[in-house]
Chains A and B, each alone.
Chain A
């Protein structure tokens, strides 16, 4: 055991406290930065209005309570959810290159949204189609994997995910070709790059249910997931029914991912990079890794989204920013790869 690991184990509480602090700083930055200038007093008044349930809002209060507030909350939720799903999938597949999209949930959600945009459906239906598309794709993937017996089940799952995801990607491309280039195509392109711009309080409330419903079993089963990441043989030796647990965990992580992709579009890299960062901070034990990754993911996405909406009057799509920031980090991770992956 290296000295670094020793140190990590000795002070998990301090690391967690730092992460909570990071989230608070990110929220503070997210609430204070923005295109709309807000006075210090408006924060107090907005808080009062929120507590008293006031419905007649001033412009300042509107910005805080209806635009910026929900957006920061959405950043927290989406970041935490994607990071959690990433941790779960990387553990489950014992593969550091795995992200929440591995079973095709993003491709499926993307396809759902693109179909809805192609059919000129309203915003709420685009979100619903995205959610349904993500769930349906993973369902198809797991069904295929279950039908293919007698091989390494995780390998079959990943392969099925890659294939079905690629198919969904092909259909997306087909619809892009068929879409009205002056009308639907920009909407499709922007959606596939991810954004929190159109998230409102109502969307947040609607997506909270599937995300919490998915996070709950992950939190409750966290020590068992640790065992699962040792591999099927070991899990069985420890008296764990790996197959069923895997299905539950996949379903939960899918629910979480599809829930956030539905409101935020496709945002890559968070679910890939954040788990690695968290592992560097608290080590590989899932019990600590899950909350650490969720905190880190939440803070990270709030910061990235704040940058996206303040760097210029034009919003930079989140998928672009997360890739630009995530790719160099991942390269650095590769470079210092001597510490190993798990």
Chain B
């Protein structure tokens, strides 16, 4: 069967909605960043556009056909900006959202589906549910085989990481702080979608508001000194540079910085640990588990990176492209440009 060819059928999405899929899915509109990535890894040929156009430094890491896809904005999530006319103009067969299936997103999907007459499916984007999501969406997009392959890879990775994490006593696991923003004082609270990968990889998120709330918050520098994390993870190059320069006295007093355990995640083509929170985080999971668990988790960054980029993004990394990523993950990122 040709990719995308299916009999018209009703499917149940992750929110429990019954949606009638068209018999052929050749054009997919991704409702936001996470959806665009999961659609890209499953059916790059069907993706209509990116929520935000790819930047120069990101382009070499996706298929050539996807590098210059138009910017279409996003229907959901922070900074929602796509308008319904843009959606209609791009003539999608299907709209996919990947992430939260809370009532807000359900009602939005219903409204858009009603206005446009285009099928709109919601797929649960929790990290744990990644294998299920890859299979479900693979089926909907007529890429069941590819969905199965990627799901199997994910399950194997999860199993390997979980096993390694289980071999380390809770108290021996590193206490990790995720630093966001140019001053590093933004963080993701424990349990938030932005940090779930830290726990999964065997770290203990220090930003634990005892279940009061989740999401991104700003914390005081004193609080960071109180937490005194063993490891700091960030993808903000400005913050990384600020700490490395030694100009900020707060961070010089933190255990993680004194021991040189501040790790910068690459963000090309997508972030390794977040930005946005989608299947791109699988790359970060292996990387973080390697950092957090040391010898307990066998991880060869060159092999793993090459394999992940080949399998998910379908690009064969050149020596130069691979070297850029490795250096980046080693704290030597390419110069920041817009």
Contact = CB atoms under 8 A, between A and B. Distances in A.
Contact of B226 (A35, A122, A308): A35
A176 B79 contact: yes
Interface string A118-130: 0111110010000
Given A62-B249, A121-B238, A177-B79, A197 B74 contact: no
A121 B236 CA distance: 11
A309 B186 contact: no
B216 interface: yes
A241 B3 CA distance: 80
B186 A314 contact: no
A123 B189 contact: no
Nearest to B224: A35
B37 to A, nearest CB: 11
Interface in B275-332: 275-277
B138 to A, nearest CB: 25
Contact of A309 (B81, B222, B250): B222
Contacts of A121: 182, 238
A179 to B, nearest CB: 7
A187 B218 CA distance: 9
A330 interface: no
Interface stretch (A63-71, A213-221, A226-234, A249-257): A63-71
Nearest to A119: B338
B186 to A, nearest CB: 6
A309 B248 CA distance: 19
Nearest to B182: A123
Contacts of B249: 62, 66-67, 200-201
A198 B218 CA distance: 10
Contacts of A335: none
Given A187-B182, A314-B189, A66 B74 contact: no
Contacts of A123: 182-183, 238, 242
B91 interface: no
23 contacts: A34-B222, A35-B220, A35-B223, A35-B225, A36-B223, A62-B253, A68-B222, A121-B182, A177-B79, A181-B33, A183-B180, A183-B236, A183-B275, A185-B78, A187-B180, A190-B181, A197-B183, A200-B249, A309-B223, A313-B223, A314-B189, A314-B217, A315-B217
> Which 8 residue pairs are nearest across A and B when measured between Cβ atoms?
A181-B79, A181-B78, A66-B249, A198-B183, A182-B275, A309-B220, A314-B217, A35-B222
